[in-house]
A and B are shown apart, each in its own frame.
Chain A
Amino acid sequence: MLTLAGIAIIAIGFVAGFNPLLVVTVAAVVTGLAAGLSLHEVISALGKAFNDNRYVSMVWLVLPVIGLLERAGLQDRARALINRLANATTGRLLIAYFFLRQIAAALGLTSLGGQAQMVRPLIAPMAEAASEARFGPLPDPVRSQIRAQAAAADNIALFFGEDIFIAMASILLIRGFLAGNGIEVEPFALSVWAIPTAIVALLVHGVRLWQLDRQLAGKMQAVKP
Protein backbone atom coordinates (compact mmCIF):
# COMPACT_ATOMS: atom_id res chain seq x y z
CA MET A 1 0.00 0.00 0.00
CA LEU A 2 2.85 2.37 0.80
CA THR A 3 3.86 2.18 -2.87
CA LEU A 4 0.77 4.26 -3.65
CA ALA A 5 2.19 7.24 -1.75
CA GLY A 6 3.56 8.57 -5.05
CA ILE A 7 0.11 8.69 -6.59
CA ALA A 8 -1.23 10.53 -3.55
CA ILE A 9 1.60 13.07 -3.86
CA ILE A 10 0.78 13.59 -7.54
CA ALA A 11 -2.92 14.11 -6.83
CA ILE A 12 -2.35 16.49 -3.91
CA GLY A 13 0.51 18.30 -5.64
CA PHE A 14 -1.42 18.95 -8.84
CA VAL A 15 -4.59 20.04 -7.01
CA ALA A 16 -2.67 22.30 -4.60
CA GLY A 17 -0.96 23.93 -7.57
CA PHE A 18 2.69 23.16 -6.78
CA ASN A 19 5.09 23.13 -9.70
CA PRO A 20 4.28 19.89 -11.58
CA LEU A 21 7.93 19.16 -12.44
CA LEU A 22 8.82 19.27 -8.74
CA VAL A 23 5.72 17.24 -7.79
CA VAL A 24 6.55 14.52 -10.31
CA THR A 25 10.16 14.30 -9.16
CA VAL A 26 9.22 14.10 -5.49
CA ALA A 27 6.58 11.46 -6.28
CA ALA A 28 9.18 9.36 -8.09
CA VAL A 29 11.65 9.58 -5.19
CA VAL A 30 8.99 8.77 -2.56
CA THR A 31 7.64 5.83 -4.59
CA GLY A 32 11.12 4.36 -4.90
CA LEU A 33 11.84 4.81 -1.19
CA ALA A 34 8.46 3.24 -0.33
CA ALA A 35 9.37 0.25 -2.48
CA GLY A 36 12.48 -0.27 -0.36
CA LEU A 37 15.18 1.26 -2.54
CA SER A 38 17.95 3.36 -0.98
CA LEU A 39 18.11 7.08 -1.81
CA HIS A 40 21.11 6.47 -4.05
CA GLU A 41 19.26 3.69 -5.88
CA VAL A 42 16.13 5.81 -6.32
CA ILE A 43 18.04 8.77 -7.77
CA SER A 44 19.91 6.40 -10.07
CA ALA A 45 16.68 4.72 -11.23
CA LEU A 46 15.12 8.11 -11.88
CA GLY A 47 18.21 9.28 -13.74
CA LYS A 48 18.35 6.15 -15.89
CA ALA A 49 14.66 6.42 -16.78
CA PHE A 50 15.03 10.13 -17.59
CA ASN A 51 18.01 9.36 -19.81
CA ASP A 52 16.19 6.49 -21.56
CA ASN A 53 13.25 8.76 -22.34
CA ARG A 54 15.14 11.69 -23.83
CA TYR A 55 13.49 11.10 -27.20
CA VAL A 56 10.23 12.39 -25.67
CA SER A 57 11.67 15.92 -25.54
CA MET A 58 12.98 15.88 -29.10
CA VAL A 59 9.73 17.36 -30.37
CA TRP A 60 11.30 20.72 -29.39
CA LEU A 61 13.77 20.45 -32.25
CA VAL A 62 11.10 22.08 -34.44
CA LEU A 63 11.13 25.29 -32.36
CA PRO A 64 13.84 27.07 -34.39
CA VAL A 65 11.88 26.43 -37.60
CA ILE A 66 8.53 27.45 -36.13
CA GLY A 67 10.07 30.49 -34.41
CA LEU A 68 11.85 31.64 -37.57
CA LEU A 69 8.72 31.29 -39.69
CA GLU A 70 6.58 33.05 -37.09
CA ARG A 71 9.10 35.89 -36.99
CA ALA A 72 8.63 36.25 -40.75
CA GLY A 73 4.84 36.31 -40.34
CA LEU A 74 3.68 32.70 -40.68
CA GLN A 75 0.65 33.24 -38.44
CA ASP A 76 -0.34 36.30 -40.52
CA ARG A 77 -0.19 34.11 -43.64
CA ALA A 78 -2.34 31.43 -42.08
CA ARG A 79 -4.87 34.09 -41.09
CA ALA A 80 -4.87 35.67 -44.56
CA LEU A 81 -5.49 32.27 -46.11
CA ILE A 82 -8.61 31.75 -43.99
CA ASN A 83 -9.91 35.23 -44.68
CA ARG A 84 -10.05 34.39 -48.37
CA LEU A 85 -12.55 31.61 -47.66
CA ALA A 86 -15.85 33.42 -47.24
CA ASN A 87 -17.64 30.49 -45.60
CA ALA A 88 -14.91 29.59 -43.12
CA THR A 89 -15.96 29.45 -39.48
CA THR A 90 -13.92 28.26 -36.51
CA GLY A 91 -16.13 25.19 -36.09
CA ARG A 92 -16.09 24.19 -39.76
CA LEU A 93 -12.34 24.69 -40.04
CA LEU A 94 -11.69 22.52 -36.99
CA ILE A 95 -14.10 19.84 -38.25
CA ALA A 96 -12.18 19.74 -41.54
CA TYR A 97 -8.84 19.52 -39.70
CA PHE A 98 -10.21 16.86 -37.34
CA PHE A 99 -11.39 14.75 -40.28
CA LEU A 100 -8.10 15.02 -42.19
CA ARG A 101 -6.01 14.35 -39.08
CA GLN A 102 -8.09 11.28 -38.22
CA ILE A 103 -7.90 9.86 -41.74
CA ALA A 104 -4.14 10.49 -41.91
CA ALA A 105 -3.62 8.81 -38.53
CA ALA A 106 -5.73 5.84 -39.62
CA LEU A 107 -3.35 5.43 -42.55
CA GLY A 108 -0.38 5.47 -40.17
CA LEU A 109 0.57 9.06 -40.99
CA THR A 110 0.62 10.26 -37.39
CA SER A 111 3.48 12.70 -37.95
CA LEU A 112 1.23 14.90 -40.11
CA GLY A 113 -0.01 17.25 -37.43
CA GLY A 114 0.99 17.83 -33.84
CA GLN A 115 0.79 20.65 -31.33
CA ALA A 116 4.14 22.34 -31.98
CA GLN A 117 4.31 21.60 -35.71
CA MET A 118 0.75 22.33 -36.86
CA VAL A 119 -1.54 23.68 -34.14
CA ARG A 120 0.50 26.60 -32.82
CA PRO A 121 1.80 27.97 -36.14
CA LEU A 122 -1.14 27.21 -38.45
CA ILE A 123 -4.36 25.70 -37.10
CA ALA A 124 -4.86 27.93 -34.03
CA PRO A 125 -4.24 31.21 -35.92
CA MET A 126 -6.57 30.03 -38.70
CA ALA A 127 -9.28 29.12 -36.20
CA GLU A 128 -8.92 32.54 -34.55
CA ALA A 129 -8.94 34.36 -37.89
CA ALA A 130 -12.16 32.66 -38.96
CA SER A 131 -13.94 34.07 -35.91
CA GLU A 132 -12.24 37.47 -36.24
CA ALA A 133 -13.57 37.73 -39.79
CA ARG A 134 -17.10 37.06 -38.56
CA PHE A 135 -17.18 38.94 -35.27
CA GLY A 136 -14.33 41.48 -35.29
CA PRO A 137 -11.66 41.64 -32.57
CA LEU A 138 -11.94 38.79 -30.03
CA PRO A 139 -11.74 39.26 -26.25
CA ASP A 140 -8.97 37.21 -24.63
CA PRO A 141 -11.19 34.51 -23.05
CA VAL A 142 -12.78 33.79 -26.45
CA ARG A 143 -9.37 33.70 -28.10
CA SER A 144 -8.14 31.24 -25.45
CA GLN A 145 -11.22 29.07 -25.88
CA ILE A 146 -10.65 28.84 -29.64
CA ARG A 147 -6.99 27.93 -29.14
CA ALA A 148 -7.87 25.22 -26.62
CA GLN A 149 -10.40 23.83 -29.10
CA ALA A 150 -7.72 23.69 -31.81
CA ALA A 151 -5.39 21.75 -29.49
CA ALA A 152 -8.19 19.38 -28.45
CA ALA A 153 -9.17 18.65 -32.06
CA ASP A 154 -5.60 17.58 -32.84
CA ASN A 155 -5.43 15.23 -29.82
CA ILE A 156 -8.83 13.59 -30.19
CA ALA A 157 -8.48 13.03 -33.94
CA LEU A 158 -5.05 11.48 -33.40
CA PHE A 159 -6.11 9.15 -30.57
CA PHE A 160 -9.19 7.82 -32.32
CA GLY A 161 -7.59 7.48 -35.72
CA GLU A 162 -4.22 5.86 -35.08
CA ASP A 163 -5.52 2.55 -33.73
CA ILE A 164 -7.11 1.76 -37.09
CA PHE A 165 -3.61 1.43 -38.52
CA ILE A 166 -2.36 -2.12 -38.00
CA ALA A 167 1.29 -1.30 -37.28
CA MET A 168 0.57 1.17 -34.48
CA ALA A 169 2.40 0.70 -31.17
CA SER A 170 -0.83 0.12 -29.23
CA ILE A 171 -1.93 -2.66 -31.60
CA LEU A 172 1.48 -4.31 -31.26
CA LEU A 173 1.26 -4.01 -27.47
CA ILE A 174 -2.18 -5.65 -27.36
CA ARG A 175 -1.04 -8.43 -29.68
CA GLY A 176 2.08 -9.09 -27.64
CA PHE A 177 0.12 -9.09 -24.40
CA LEU A 178 -2.47 -11.57 -25.71
CA ALA A 179 0.23 -13.80 -27.20
CA GLY A 180 1.87 -13.87 -23.77
CA ASN A 181 -1.42 -15.17 -22.40
CA GLY A 182 -1.74 -17.85 -25.07
CA ILE A 183 -4.25 -16.01 -27.28
CA GLU A 184 -3.21 -15.38 -30.89
CA VAL A 185 -4.98 -12.55 -32.75
CA GLU A 186 -4.21 -10.98 -36.11
CA PRO A 187 -3.39 -7.23 -36.03
CA PHE A 188 -6.22 -6.67 -38.48
CA ALA A 189 -8.73 -8.29 -36.09
CA LEU A 190 -7.73 -5.67 -33.50
CA SER A 191 -7.54 -2.62 -35.73
CA VAL A 192 -10.96 -3.27 -37.28
CA TRP A 193 -12.53 -2.91 -33.80
CA ALA A 194 -11.07 0.58 -33.51
CA ILE A 195 -13.34 1.71 -36.34
CA PRO A 196 -16.69 1.93 -34.45
CA THR A 197 -15.20 4.16 -31.74
CA ALA A 198 -13.45 6.24 -34.42
CA ILE A 199 -16.78 6.90 -36.12
CA VAL A 200 -18.44 7.79 -32.83
CA ALA A 201 -15.53 10.15 -32.04
CA LEU A 202 -15.95 11.91 -35.39
CA LEU A 203 -19.71 12.28 -34.85
CA VAL A 204 -19.53 13.39 -31.21
CA HIS A 205 -16.69 15.84 -31.60
CA GLY A 206 -18.03 17.02 -34.96
CA VAL A 207 -21.34 17.95 -33.34
CA ARG A 208 -19.51 19.71 -30.52
CA LEU A 209 -17.43 21.73 -32.99
CA TRP A 210 -20.53 22.57 -34.97
CA GLN A 211 -22.15 23.85 -31.77
CA LEU A 212 -18.97 25.83 -31.04
CA ASP A 213 -19.85 28.28 -33.83
CA ARG A 214 -23.20 29.04 -32.19
CA GLN A 215 -21.59 29.30 -28.77
CA LEU A 216 -19.02 31.75 -30.10
CA ALA A 217 -21.75 33.78 -31.81
CA GLY A 218 -23.65 33.92 -28.52
CA LYS A 219 -20.58 34.99 -26.56
CA MET A 220 -19.69 37.69 -29.06
CA GLN A 221 -23.28 38.95 -29.01
CA ALA A 222 -23.03 39.25 -25.24
CA VAL A 223 -19.81 41.27 -25.23
CA LYS A 224 -21.01 43.72 -27.89
CA PRO A 225 -22.07 47.06 -26.38
Chain B
Amino acid sequence: MITLSFVYVLGGALFTAVAILSGLDPSNPKRAGTTAFWGLMALSLLLGDQISDFGNGLIVLGMAVIAGTGGLGKGSLTPEAETDRQAFRRDRGARIGNWLLAPALIVPTTALTGTLLLKDLMVGGVHLVDPKQATLIAMAFGVLLALAVALPLIRTTPMVPLQEARRLLDTVGWSAVLPQALAALGAVFALAGVGKVIGALTTTYIPAHSPLAAAALYCCGMAGFTILMGNAFAAFPIMTAGIGLPLVVMQFGGNPAVVCAIGMLSGFCGTLMTPMAANFNLVPAALLELPDRYSVIKVQAPTALILLAANIVLMTLFAF
Protein backbone atom coordinates (compact mmCIF):
# COMPACT_ATOMS: atom_id res chain seq x y z
CA MET B 1 0.00 0.00 0.00
CA ILE B 2 1.23 3.47 -0.88
CA THR B 3 0.99 5.68 2.20
CA LEU B 4 1.94 9.18 3.24
CA SER B 5 5.53 7.98 3.75
CA PHE B 6 5.90 8.10 -0.03
CA VAL B 7 4.78 11.74 -0.05
CA TYR B 8 7.16 12.55 2.82
CA VAL B 9 10.10 11.03 0.93
CA LEU B 10 9.32 13.29 -2.04
CA GLY B 11 8.94 16.28 0.29
CA GLY B 12 12.18 15.37 2.08
CA ALA B 13 14.00 15.18 -1.25
CA LEU B 14 12.63 18.58 -2.27
CA PHE B 15 13.67 20.28 0.98
CA THR B 16 17.09 18.59 0.87
CA ALA B 17 17.61 20.04 -2.59
CA VAL B 18 16.42 23.45 -1.41
CA ALA B 19 18.82 23.31 1.56
CA ILE B 20 21.77 22.44 -0.67
CA LEU B 21 20.92 24.99 -3.36
CA SER B 22 20.48 27.70 -0.70
CA GLY B 23 23.93 26.87 0.64
CA LEU B 24 25.38 27.24 -2.86
CA ASP B 25 23.57 30.51 -3.61
CA PRO B 26 26.18 33.30 -3.48
CA SER B 27 23.48 35.99 -3.60
CA ASN B 28 21.96 34.83 -0.29
CA PRO B 29 23.53 36.81 2.58
CA LYS B 30 22.52 34.17 5.17
CA ARG B 31 23.43 30.91 3.50
CA ALA B 32 24.23 28.95 6.66
CA GLY B 33 20.98 29.76 8.45
CA THR B 34 18.87 29.14 5.35
CA THR B 35 20.53 25.78 4.71
CA ALA B 36 20.14 24.76 8.36
CA PHE B 37 16.44 25.72 8.39
CA TRP B 38 15.45 23.76 5.27
CA GLY B 39 17.85 20.97 6.26
CA LEU B 40 15.95 20.53 9.54
CA MET B 41 12.69 20.45 7.59
CA ALA B 42 14.12 17.76 5.29
CA LEU B 43 15.35 15.79 8.32
CA SER B 44 11.86 15.87 9.85
CA LEU B 45 10.26 14.62 6.64
CA LEU B 46 12.81 11.89 5.91
CA LEU B 47 13.51 10.58 9.43
CA GLY B 48 10.69 11.97 11.59
CA ASP B 49 9.29 8.49 12.24
CA GLN B 50 12.68 7.03 13.16
CA ILE B 51 13.92 9.63 15.61
CA SER B 52 12.31 10.09 19.02
CA ASP B 53 9.53 12.56 19.84
CA PHE B 54 12.11 14.54 21.80
CA GLY B 55 14.37 14.63 18.73
CA ASN B 56 11.49 15.95 16.64
CA GLY B 57 10.84 18.54 19.34
CA LEU B 58 14.46 19.70 19.09
CA ILE B 59 14.00 20.06 15.32
CA VAL B 60 11.01 22.38 15.95
CA LEU B 61 12.95 24.41 18.50
CA GLY B 62 15.90 24.67 16.12
CA MET B 63 13.74 25.97 13.29
CA ALA B 64 11.98 28.43 15.60
CA VAL B 65 15.30 29.80 16.87
CA ILE B 66 16.71 30.20 13.34
CA ALA B 67 13.53 31.98 12.18
CA GLY B 68 13.23 34.04 15.35
CA THR B 69 16.79 35.35 15.17
CA GLY B 70 16.43 36.39 11.54
CA GLY B 71 18.68 33.57 10.37
CA LEU B 72 16.84 32.99 7.10
CA GLY B 73 18.00 34.94 4.08
CA LYS B 74 16.90 35.11 0.49
CA GLY B 75 18.77 35.16 -2.78
CA SER B 76 18.54 37.91 -5.37
CA LEU B 77 19.05 38.12 -9.10
CA THR B 78 21.82 40.05 -10.82
CA PRO B 79 20.69 42.33 -13.66
CA GLU B 80 22.27 39.91 -16.16
CA ALA B 81 20.37 36.97 -14.69
CA GLU B 82 17.17 39.02 -14.88
CA THR B 83 17.81 39.71 -18.59
CA ASP B 84 18.50 36.01 -19.19
CA ARG B 85 15.25 35.08 -17.51
CA GLN B 86 13.29 37.54 -19.65
CA ALA B 87 14.87 36.17 -22.81
CA PHE B 88 14.03 32.62 -21.69
CA ARG B 89 10.41 33.61 -21.06
CA ARG B 90 10.06 35.36 -24.43
CA ASP B 91 11.56 32.41 -26.29
CA ARG B 92 9.48 29.76 -24.53
CA GLY B 93 6.36 31.91 -24.65
CA ALA B 94 6.63 32.30 -28.42
CA ARG B 95 7.22 28.57 -28.94
CA ILE B 96 4.80 27.01 -26.43
CA GLY B 97 1.99 29.56 -26.26
CA ASN B 98 -1.08 28.60 -24.29
CA TRP B 99 0.01 24.96 -24.01
CA LEU B 100 1.97 26.19 -20.99
CA LEU B 101 -1.31 26.34 -19.09
CA ALA B 102 -1.84 22.59 -19.49
CA PRO B 103 0.79 21.36 -16.98
CA ALA B 104 -0.52 23.90 -14.47
CA LEU B 105 -3.87 22.14 -14.55
CA ILE B 106 -2.37 18.64 -14.29
CA VAL B 107 -1.78 18.86 -10.52
CA PRO B 108 -5.34 19.76 -9.45
CA THR B 109 -6.87 17.44 -12.05
CA THR B 110 -4.74 14.50 -10.95
CA ALA B 111 -5.47 15.23 -7.30
CA LEU B 112 -9.15 15.21 -8.12
CA THR B 113 -9.34 12.11 -10.31
CA GLY B 114 -6.88 10.33 -8.04
CA THR B 115 -9.06 10.98 -5.02
CA LEU B 116 -12.10 9.60 -6.80
CA LEU B 117 -10.42 6.59 -8.43
CA LEU B 118 -7.55 5.55 -6.15
CA LYS B 119 -9.63 5.52 -2.98
CA ASP B 120 -11.34 2.25 -3.78
CA LEU B 121 -8.71 0.66 -6.00
CA MET B 122 -7.79 -2.77 -4.65
CA VAL B 123 -4.81 -4.83 -5.80
CA GLY B 124 -4.59 -8.39 -4.46
CA GLY B 125 -7.09 -7.66 -1.69
CA VAL B 126 -5.37 -4.56 -0.30
CA HIS B 127 -5.87 -0.91 -1.10
CA LEU B 128 -3.29 0.35 -3.60
CA VAL B 129 -3.15 3.67 -1.74
CA ASP B 130 -4.14 4.57 1.80
CA PRO B 131 -7.79 5.60 1.26
CA LYS B 132 -7.67 8.23 4.01
CA GLN B 133 -4.78 10.01 2.31
CA ALA B 134 -5.80 9.51 -1.31
CA THR B 135 -5.89 13.25 -2.13
CA LEU B 136 -2.36 14.04 -0.94
CA ILE B 137 -0.91 10.93 -2.55
CA ALA B 138 -2.70 11.70 -5.82
CA MET B 139 -1.43 15.28 -5.66
CA ALA B 140 2.14 14.02 -5.28
CA PHE B 141 1.68 11.86 -8.37
CA GLY B 142 0.21 14.90 -10.11
CA VAL B 143 3.37 16.87 -9.35
CA LEU B 144 5.57 14.14 -10.85
CA LEU B 145 3.31 13.86 -13.89
CA ALA B 146 3.25 17.64 -14.41
CA LEU B 147 7.07 17.75 -14.26
CA ALA B 148 7.31 14.82 -16.69
CA VAL B 149 5.13 16.74 -19.14
CA ALA B 150 6.52 20.22 -18.56
CA LEU B 151 10.27 19.49 -18.69
CA PRO B 152 10.28 18.22 -22.31
CA LEU B 153 7.72 20.85 -23.30
CA ILE B 154 9.88 23.67 -21.96
CA ARG B 155 13.10 21.84 -22.94
CA THR B 156 15.12 22.37 -19.83
CA THR B 157 16.90 20.38 -17.13
CA PRO B 158 15.45 19.02 -13.84
CA MET B 159 17.71 21.50 -12.03
CA VAL B 160 15.47 24.39 -13.11
CA PRO B 161 12.33 23.35 -11.19
CA LEU B 162 14.45 22.75 -8.08
CA GLN B 163 16.13 26.16 -8.36
CA GLU B 164 12.74 27.81 -8.90
CA ALA B 165 11.29 25.99 -5.87
CA ARG B 166 14.22 27.35 -3.88
CA ARG B 167 13.51 30.87 -5.14
CA LEU B 168 9.82 30.58 -4.21
CA LEU B 169 10.68 29.21 -0.76
CA ASP B 170 13.10 32.12 -0.32
CA THR B 171 10.05 34.35 -0.82
CA VAL B 172 7.74 32.41 1.49
CA GLY B 173 10.46 31.87 4.11
CA TRP B 174 9.66 30.61 7.60
CA SER B 175 5.91 31.06 7.06
CA ALA B 176 6.05 27.87 4.97
CA VAL B 177 6.35 25.92 8.24
CA LEU B 178 3.94 28.03 10.29
CA PRO B 179 0.73 26.08 9.45
CA GLN B 180 2.35 22.83 10.58
CA ALA B 181 3.69 24.47 13.76
CA LEU B 182 0.22 25.86 14.50
CA ALA B 183 -1.29 22.40 14.04
CA ALA B 184 1.26 21.14 16.58
CA LEU B 185 0.36 24.00 18.93
CA GLY B 186 -3.29 22.95 18.64
CA ALA B 187 -2.36 19.46 19.77
CA VAL B 188 -0.44 20.83 22.79
CA PHE B 189 -3.43 23.08 23.62
CA ALA B 190 -5.69 20.03 23.54
CA LEU B 191 -3.28 18.12 25.80
CA ALA B 192 -3.21 20.98 28.30
CA GLY B 193 -7.02 21.40 28.24
CA VAL B 194 -6.94 25.02 27.07
CA GLY B 195 -10.28 24.65 25.29
CA LYS B 196 -12.11 23.37 28.35
CA VAL B 197 -10.90 26.31 30.44
CA ILE B 198 -12.10 28.84 27.87
CA GLY B 199 -15.40 27.00 27.36
CA ALA B 200 -16.02 27.03 31.11
CA LEU B 201 -15.19 30.74 31.34
CA THR B 202 -17.52 31.64 28.46
CA THR B 203 -20.48 29.68 29.79
CA THR B 204 -20.01 30.84 33.38
CA TYR B 205 -19.85 34.55 32.81
CA ILE B 206 -22.11 35.31 29.84
CA PRO B 207 -25.90 35.02 30.28
CA ALA B 208 -28.48 34.54 27.52
CA HIS B 209 -32.22 35.01 28.02
CA SER B 210 -33.75 34.61 24.55
CA PRO B 211 -33.28 32.32 21.53
CA LEU B 212 -31.70 35.20 19.62
CA ALA B 213 -29.26 35.92 22.45
CA ALA B 214 -28.41 32.23 22.77
CA ALA B 215 -27.82 31.90 19.02
CA ALA B 216 -25.71 35.07 19.04
CA LEU B 217 -23.65 33.82 21.99
CA TYR B 218 -23.00 30.46 20.35
CA CYS B 219 -22.14 31.90 16.91
CA CYS B 220 -19.88 34.62 18.32
CA GLY B 221 -18.32 32.07 20.66
CA MET B 222 -17.53 29.80 17.72
CA ALA B 223 -16.03 32.69 15.73
CA GLY B 224 -14.08 34.08 18.68
CA PHE B 225 -12.75 30.75 19.83
CA THR B 226 -11.76 29.89 16.27
CA ILE B 227 -9.83 33.16 16.11
CA LEU B 228 -7.89 32.07 19.21
CA MET B 229 -7.31 28.46 18.12
CA GLY B 230 -6.98 29.09 14.37
CA ASN B 231 -9.26 26.18 13.56
CA ALA B 232 -13.05 25.80 13.68
CA PHE B 233 -12.67 22.06 14.21
CA ALA B 234 -10.88 22.69 17.52
CA ALA B 235 -13.50 25.22 18.61
CA PHE B 236 -16.55 23.18 17.65
CA PRO B 237 -16.60 20.39 20.28
CA ILE B 238 -15.82 22.80 23.11
CA MET B 239 -18.28 25.56 22.20
CA THR B 240 -21.03 23.11 21.28
CA ALA B 241 -20.64 21.14 24.49
CA GLY B 242 -20.44 24.40 26.46
CA ILE B 243 -23.11 26.54 24.79
CA GLY B 244 -24.62 24.94 21.68
CA LEU B 245 -26.18 21.83 23.22
CA PRO B 246 -27.05 22.92 26.78
CA LEU B 247 -28.26 26.40 25.94
CA VAL B 248 -29.40 26.67 22.30
CA VAL B 249 -30.67 23.11 21.86
CA MET B 250 -31.79 21.98 25.35
CA GLN B 251 -32.94 25.21 26.97
CA PHE B 252 -34.45 26.98 23.95
CA GLY B 253 -35.36 23.90 21.90
CA GLY B 254 -33.21 24.56 18.81
CA ASN B 255 -32.95 21.92 16.09
CA PRO B 256 -29.51 20.33 16.64
CA ALA B 257 -28.75 19.83 12.93
CA VAL B 258 -29.41 23.49 12.10
CA VAL B 259 -27.61 24.75 15.20
CA CYS B 260 -24.48 22.68 14.61
CA ALA B 261 -24.30 23.25 10.84
CA ILE B 262 -24.59 27.03 11.17
CA GLY B 263 -22.40 27.03 14.29
CA MET B 264 -19.59 25.42 12.30
CA LEU B 265 -19.99 28.02 9.55
CA SER B 266 -19.73 30.77 12.20
CA GLY B 267 -16.41 29.21 13.14
CA PHE B 268 -15.33 29.54 9.51
CA CYS B 269 -16.06 33.30 9.77
CA GLY B 270 -13.47 33.32 12.57
CA THR B 271 -10.98 31.41 10.39
CA LEU B 272 -11.12 34.23 7.84
CA MET B 273 -10.06 36.78 10.47
CA THR B 274 -7.17 35.14 12.33
CA PRO B 275 -3.41 34.96 11.72
CA MET B 276 -3.60 31.62 13.55
CA ALA B 277 -5.09 30.12 10.37
CA ALA B 278 -1.75 30.77 8.70
CA ASN B 279 -2.17 28.51 5.69
CA PHE B 280 -5.23 30.47 4.53
CA ASN B 281 -4.29 33.95 5.68
CA LEU B 282 -0.54 34.49 6.17
CA VAL B 283 0.94 32.06 3.64
CA PRO B 284 -0.92 33.62 0.67
CA ALA B 285 0.37 37.04 1.71
CA ALA B 286 3.93 35.66 1.58
CA LEU B 287 3.27 33.73 -1.61
CA LEU B 288 1.88 36.81 -3.37
CA GLU B 289 4.72 38.97 -2.00
CA LEU B 290 2.38 41.39 -0.22
CA PRO B 291 4.19 43.94 1.98
CA ASP B 292 1.49 43.74 4.72
CA ARG B 293 1.33 40.28 6.29
CA TYR B 294 -2.28 40.87 7.33
CA SER B 295 -3.63 42.26 4.04
CA VAL B 296 -5.58 39.09 3.16
CA ILE B 297 -7.26 39.13 6.60
CA LYS B 298 -8.14 42.80 6.14
CA VAL B 299 -9.85 42.07 2.83
CA GLN B 300 -11.73 39.11 4.29
CA ALA B 301 -12.87 40.68 7.58
CA PRO B 302 -15.88 42.69 6.27
CA THR B 303 -17.35 39.65 4.50
CA ALA B 304 -16.65 37.49 7.56
CA LEU B 305 -18.41 39.91 9.95
CA ILE B 306 -21.46 40.26 7.69
CA LEU B 307 -21.66 36.47 7.36
CA LEU B 308 -21.38 36.05 11.12
CA ALA B 309 -24.36 38.37 11.60
CA ALA B 310 -26.21 36.52 8.84
CA ASN B 311 -25.53 33.21 10.58
CA ILE B 312 -27.03 34.48 13.83
CA VAL B 313 -30.17 35.58 11.96
CA LEU B 314 -30.39 32.32 9.98
CA MET B 315 -29.99 30.22 13.13
CA THR B 316 -32.69 32.20 14.92
CA LEU B 317 -35.03 31.87 11.92
CA PHE B 318 -34.55 28.19 11.14
CA ALA B 319 -33.55 26.44 14.37
CA PHE B 320 -36.49 27.40 16.58
Contacts and interface: CB of A to CB of B under 8 A. Distances in A.
B20 to A, nearest CB: 14
Interface stretch (B26-34, B86-94, B120-128, B205-213): B86-94
A148 B85 contact: no
Contacts of A204: 303, 306-307, 310
Question: Which interface residue of B136, B188, B237 has the most chain A CB atoms within 10 A?
Answer: B188
Interface in A32-83: 32, 34-35, 37, 40, 42-74, 76-78, 81
Nearest to A111: B111
A162 B308 CA distance: 17
A92 interface: no
A177 interface: yes
A109 B112 contact: yes
Interface string B281-320: 1111101111110011011101110110011001000100
B11 A68 contact: no
Interface residues of A, number: 110
B186 to A, nearest CB: 8
Contacts of A163: 261, 264-265, 268
A181 B245 contact: yes
A144 B291 contact: yes
Given A57-B176, A77-B100, A46 B283 contact: no
A160 B265 contact: yes
B320 to A, nearest CB: 13
B7 A14 contact: no
B276 interface: yes
B296 A81 contact: no
How would you classify the secondary structure of chain B's contact residues: helix, strand, loop or mixed? Answer: helix
B183 A56 contact: yes
Interface string A115-154: 1111111101000000000000000100011011111101
Contact of A170 (B133, B232, B307, B314): B232
Interface in B83-116: 85, 88-90, 92-93, 96-98, 100-101, 103-104, 106-108, 111-112, 115
A48 B53 contact: yes
Interface of B: 4, 7-8, 10-11, 14, 41, 44-45, 48-49, 52-61, 63-65, 67-68, 70, 85, 88-90, 92-93, 96-98, 100-101, 103-104, 106-108, 111-112, 115, 133, 135-136, 139-140, 143, 146-147, 150-151, 154, 156, 160-165, 167-169, 174-189, 191-194, 197-198, 228, 232-233, 236-237, 240-241, 245, 256-258, 260-262, 264-265, 268, 271-272, 275-276, 278-285, 287-292, 295-296, 298-300, 302-304, 306-307, 310-311, 314, 318
21 contacts: A26-B64, A32-B191, A40-B54, A44-B52, A54-B4, A61-B7, A61-B143, A64-B165, A65-B107, A70-B164, A71-B164, A78-B101, A111-B139, A115-B284, A152-B303, A155-B296, A156-B300, A163-B265, A173-B236, A197-B265, A200-B314
